[in-house]
Amino acid sequence: MPFLDLEMFGAVPGIDPETGFHWDDTKRYVDHVGLADDGKRKVFELNARRVYPRLDSLLTTTTGR
């Protein structure tokens, strides 16, 4: 199978055998940075809303924020 035909979710599939965490589990790194709640919202929610404008529209319509 050619490399370009491969599809996967996340950056790297699989689990690190030394830690037991998924290789692409970047949320745990952000959690350990020590951001305040507003900073976490910017990283997780507002970035997703910027990248997926239809999601932002749907969430704004259903939640009002």
**Among residues 7, 18, 37, 38, which one is catalytic?**
7
Domain chopping of the chain, boundaries = 32-65
pLDDT digits (tens, 9 = 90+) for 27-39: 888 899 999 999 9
pLDDT band at 1 (very low <50, low <70, confident <90, very high): very low
Alpha helix stretches (DSSP H) within 2-64 = 27-31, 37-41, 47-51, 53-63
pLDDT digits (tens, 9 = 90+) for 8-57: 555 677 888 999 988 888 888 889 999 999 999 999 899 999 999 999 99
- Quick check: is 45 catalytic? no
Please, are residues 34 and 43 in contact by the beta-carbon 8 Å criterion? no
Q: Which residues contact 31 (CB under 8 A, 6 or more apart)?
A: 40
